Chains A and B, each alone.
Chain A
């Protein structure tokens, strides 16, 4: 067992920012807007670092796909305790159409190349809310998956994952190598301390191109339009139940 864990981290618009749609309706405004690591990816990094601190794994490798700025996100992961980073350079049009299918192809290729025993991802990104990358990566690798994890424990050559599902909690035991996606209650990510940020400067980030991994980035999706949610209409107060029934009949609801 290589003892290596691959963690995917995505650079997204910060959760506190007020999103604005671009005037040409092709997407949202990203220029000059504050970005940070996807919160679920932070939880994924934290889990990987915790496993390393418990000496259950040996190395944490942080991966991000995107333009130059993706390196900032990798650096944050390094400051949290990841050992090294891999920046998969994707820019321009390719970056605009980069989605779970492309990213999962990249992660699958890297997982094989790096001989990873575990791939930990956030369950979904807060910008597109796809919730697909983890699942697709496992499928492409033909590895078992433990998604929506609220607890992860290594048991020899298997991983026990407690999953948060609609009905409650489901516990599965899956063989290593495996893909795990982190849900909210898995852990509380640590604050990057300034000395760790300083130490992270010395850690390496390798640069890789998707072509080097033999990955085709063509998108099978085309975004037609992006709109703001419809403005909420004002409500109306009525005095009596009869008034209410009358109004409902008026507007054709009954």
Chain B
């Protein structure tokens, strides 16, 4: 059993810990980076994020790794707003759209590299700074779905403003909403909701980006126990130059109750600029989201009262991960709005531009671009509102889906905007069209809030861990075959069928609209094959799966494609059932998406099965190593000099 270096992990709700089947020497290992990464992901990120570690997970994404289909969170497509909430939301959409069309000037904000003062004031008056703060504390008390709908409007007009608002409420003070006690909420939320105080999320440091657990900012408890002394510096903090309230993550030395050893654990703090010792650097000059303020923040012997701890002392990593996880759906919603905006521009151009005697929308090349843009926007939008709907319905397990939606949305938005510029030709490249700004703004979305690369590893490893638990359960059953005859018989039959290329009885019939039956079947086949390859990989690699990043990336890509297939199946099924005017069009979007996604998944699985792929990965690795040795490209110039 791989032991975790912190005792807290083992206290997981007193259940039989189902750790990964991956066996390892029981001595604490820090020697290998693999074990360290496993520890971090496993113990910190995964363990506490799970509310139940049991095998009965409702998450669709968790289950596909086990070759199972859990439909409760994906079918039917969630409709979570009651009449009053829907009516209220409808009333909000108009004024917000109007504000962004008439008052906000995204081009100006980009040139000035700040949000214009009168726009900021207007946003504060509008109530845009406290959308999810409870109404009795001065906010609008919006649910996740309502929030998503408004954030979509912001995303379609100005991502710089979107990040200013998001850094403030989606992560900046989310910690207070999620983990604050009543006193902290009452003290801080009203001024944050009105925008009188701006908030910022301070985790990243010069030496700690993806490896958030390695932060070096320290918070040392005073001998009297009344306050902590905070020291350290954070970089690339959105709203760093504007904020009054900071959610800061720092290492606090803590005594292990069992061994008496002093260890550093992360604690989250609410830090007020007025505490003194908090300074910030000049605004960073960026490629995009220029209107958003990004700055270094320095904490120099800041005295933070002990009652400013957010959540538990030593529980800061959990606070950080939960905050990020909780806000992720917002990104997909915003980006679905961004895509809609640029698609409108592309369509307008294609409809009106004549070349070679015809409007260019008549040409196949343009038609393919437009169709792909529409599909990617449809998938992103479907994911965003499915996840927000799940969250509003009380789902506690959505972290893999949220991560998938962030990866998909950020990459889709980049690709769609890129194609939009292409459709518009030279015009797309010009500042006045407004699309190049969107392109520059979008680049950061694949990087911040968890780089897509790390999130892919998270999706894959999380899935492997769960599947591993199931496998471990089976291995245990194998030790007592007679007592588990039924279970084993079922599993053996399943594998035999799989080997024979027969379906294992999984089906989406009854969930999916009959007109989408074929796409449903493709999805089921994809899930069956995926479950099979996951099991194979687990058996083949064991704990070393963690080193196999080439494998993990492809596994994640399959999971993303499969989740995408299911969300569009769910949404299109609902549209068909409701008899919407667009239902036929949505059916075509869904079918086209599923056919291509299925191909990608089967190709990836083929690569994962094949022995050639090991050679490929080895080659990729050796190319990279040579480049590192050489400080750049290795092959000398063809001309010899």
Contacts and interface: CB of A to CB of B under 8 A. Distances in A.
B125 A75 contact: no
Nearest to A71: B87
B312 to A, nearest CB: 34
B88 A191 contact: no
Interface string B92-114: 10111011000100000000000
Nearest to B141: A198
A194 B94 contact: no
A194 B98 contact: no
Interface string B376-389: 00000000000000
B539 interface: no
A167 to B, nearest CB: 32
Contact of A197 (B92, B122, B131): B92
Nearest to A32: B581
B268 interface: no
Interface in A68-120: 72, 75-76, 79
A79 B91 contact: yes
A231 interface: no
Contact of A191 (B90, B91, B126, B135): B126
Q: Is the interface of B mostly helix, strand, loop or mixed?
A: helix
Nearest to B95: A192
A191 B98 contact: yes
A203 interface: no
Interface string B63-89: 000000000000000000000000010
A18 to B, nearest CB: 13
Q: Is the interface of A mostly helix, strand, loop or mixed?
A: helix
B95 A194 contact: yes
Given A191-B126, A194-B126, A201 B88 contact: yes
A72 B89 CA distance: 12
A240 interface: no
Interface in B288-305: none
A251 interface: no
A69 to B, nearest CB: 11
A76 B135 CA distance: 20
Contacts of A193: 95, 125-127
A76 B92 CA distance: 10
Given A191-B122, A191-B126, A197 B135 contact: no
Interface string B212-224: 0000000000000
Contacts of A72: 90-91
A201 B140 CA distance: 12
Nearest to B194: A195
Contacts of B94: 36, 76, 192
A194 B128 CA distance: 8
Interface core residue of B88, B91, B126 (most chain A CB under 10 Å): B91
A194 B122 contact: no
A75 B96 CA distance: 15
A197 B91 contact: yes
A154 B140 CA distance: 37
A36 B98 CA distance: 12
Interface string B120-137: 001001111001000100
B378 to A, nearest CB: 20
Nearest to B581: A32
Contact of A194 (B90, B103, B140): B140
Nearest to B131: A194
Interface core residue of A191, A193, A194, A195 (most chain B CB under 10 Å): A194
A12 B598 CA distance: 47
A240 B99 CA distance: 52
Nearest to B84: A201
A194 B97 CA distance: 12
Nearest to A195: B127
B319 to A, nearest CB: 28
A75 B103 CA distance: 22
A62 to B, nearest CB: 14
Contacts of B88: 197-198, 201
A36 B88 CA distance: 15
A6 B88 CA distance: 25
Contacts of B96: 194
Contacts of B90: 72
Interface string A181-202: 0000000000111110110010
Interface in B117-158: 122, 125-128, 131, 135, 140
A227 to B, nearest CB: 26
Interface string B597-617: 000000000000000000000
Interface in A189-245: 191-195, 197-198, 201
Contacts of A76: 91, 94
A170 B92 CA distance: 40
Contacts of A194: 92, 95-96, 126-128, 131, 140
A201 B141 CA distance: 14
A75 B126 contact: no
Nearest to B90: A72
Given A191-B98, A193-B125, A75 B140 contact: no
A198 B140 contact: yes
A205 to B, nearest CB: 13
A193 B128 CA distance: 9
A36 B91 CA distance: 11
A155 B551 CA distance: 81
Contacts of B126: 191, 193-194
B134 to A, nearest CB: 12
Interface in A18-58: 36
Contacts of B91: 72, 75-76, 79, 197
Nearest to A190: B125
A23 to B, nearest CB: 16
A194 B126 CA distance: 5
A168 B124 CA distance: 40
B348 to A, nearest CB: 13
B97 to A, nearest CB: 10
Contact of A195 (B98, B103, B122, B140): B140
B137 to A, nearest CB: 12
A191 B92 contact: no
Nearest to B193: A195
Contacts of B92: 194, 197
B359 to A, nearest CB: 19
Contacts of A197: 88, 91-92, 95
B191 to A, nearest CB: 14
Nearest to B139: A195
Contacts of B122: 191
A48 B635 CA distance: 78
A75 B93 CA distance: 13
Given A76-B91, A191-B95, 5 more contacts: A193-B126, A194-B131, A197-B95, A198-B135, A198-B140
List the 3 shortest-distance A-B pairs measured between CB atoms, nearest first. A194-B127, A195-B127, A192-B95
29 contacts: A72-B91, A75-B91, A76-B94, A191-B95, A191-B98, A191-B99, A191-B103, A191-B126, A192-B94, A192-B95, A193-B95, A193-B125, A193-B127, A194-B92, A194-B95, A194-B126, A194-B127, A194-B128, A194-B140, A195-B127, A195-B140, A197-B88, A197-B91, A197-B92, A197-B95, A198-B88, A198-B127, A198-B140, A201-B88
